């Protein structure tokens, strides 16, 4: 099995730092919006994906559909969130398979 590679880089460029801060702020706004609107979205989003961009949500059947909506409706928002909403149901079992 190939090992994963983890790289840490120091960013000294002020323009790049400002761009990353802007993206993080967009992501934070979308995450805060989703947190406050979560109860409104959950009933119809179970087993689907929620895309949040521009503090607006879209419920999609696939990740491709969610990302396409975000790109067409909010092309300037680089802090888009796409999350899968687990369907309601009973207990879940997780196990490692070898």
**Would 49 be classed as within a structural domain?**
yes
36-45 contact pairs (CB < 8 A, 24+): 41/85, 42/85, 45/85
Copy the structure tokens of residue 97. Answer: 């398979």
* CA neighbor of 79 nearest in space, from 33, 15, 11: 33
Query: pLDDT of 28-76, one tens digit each?
Result: 999 999 999 999 998 899 999 999 999 999 999 999 999 999 999 999 9
Is 95 within a domain? no
> Whole-model pTM?
0.77
Query: Whole domain around residue 64: which residue ranges?
Result: 16-84
What pLDDT sits at residue 88? 77
* Number of domains, the chain: 1
Mean pLDDT, rounded, of the chain = 91
């Amino acid at each position: 099995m190939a090992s994963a590679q983890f790289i840490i880089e120091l960013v000294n460029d002020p323009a790049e730092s400002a761009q990353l801060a802007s993206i993080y702020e967009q992501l934070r706004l979308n995450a805060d919006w989703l947190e406050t609107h979560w109860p409104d979205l959950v009933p119809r989003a179970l087993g689907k994906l929620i895309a949040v961009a521009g503090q607006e949500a879209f419920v999609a059947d696939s990740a491709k559909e969610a990302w396409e909506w975000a790109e067409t409706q909010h092309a300037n928002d680089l802090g888009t969130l796409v999350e899968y909403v687990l369907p309601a149901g009973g207990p879940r079992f997780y196990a490692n398979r070898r």
